[in-house]
Copies of this chain bind each other. A is one copy, B any other.
Amino acid sequence: MELKCRQGESNMASANSPARATPREWKWTPAEKTAARRAFDLALSRELDAVLCEAKERAARITDAAALWELEGWLGEQRRRIDHDFDYRYSVLPMVFASLLRSGRLTEDDLNGLAPDKLDDLRRMAH
């Protein structure tokens, strides 16, 4: 419960934790940065593997030109989506991690090394 009482600098904190730093304002220790980078890279690797696997399956099923250009379009969408979603700026990283938890690309175990209050917030944001 102590965490709920920690003073934050923001006036945007939620009603449940009025003085808590918003995720955008989190301070990351060097060890947390290392853990965050490891989790981020792990999720990106899983995402790319999934797209790669699906691309191969789609390519193998193609029987006409229309489907070939659809594959091109789909690959472009995946590339732009991944470029957009995998944003390592610390200001958006909590939202990225919450989204990855929600989609199953990351588990809480993968985020080991982050402070318990951050994990609490991420868990809430993911649900």
Is A126 among interface residues, defined by CB-CB distance under 8 A?
Answer: no
Please determine whether A71 and B62 come into contact, CB atoms closer than 8 angstroms.
Answer: no
SS class, residues of chain A in contact with chain B: helix
Please determine whether A56 and B55 come into contact, CB atoms closer than 8 angstroms.
Answer: no
Please determine whether B55 and A62 come into contact, CB atoms closer than 8 angstroms.
Answer: yes
Contact partners of A63 in chain B: CB under 8 A: 52
Chain A contacts to B: CB under 8 angstroms: 48, 51-52, 55-56, 59-60, 62-65, 68-69, 71-72, 75-76, 79
Q: Given known contacts A51-B68, A75-B75, what 16 new A-B pairs fall within 8 Å (CB)?
A: A48-B64, A48-B68, A51-B65, A52-B63, A52-B65, A55-B59, A55-B68, A56-B60, A56-B62, A59-B59, A59-B60, A68-B75, A69-B79, A72-B72, A72-B75, A72-B79
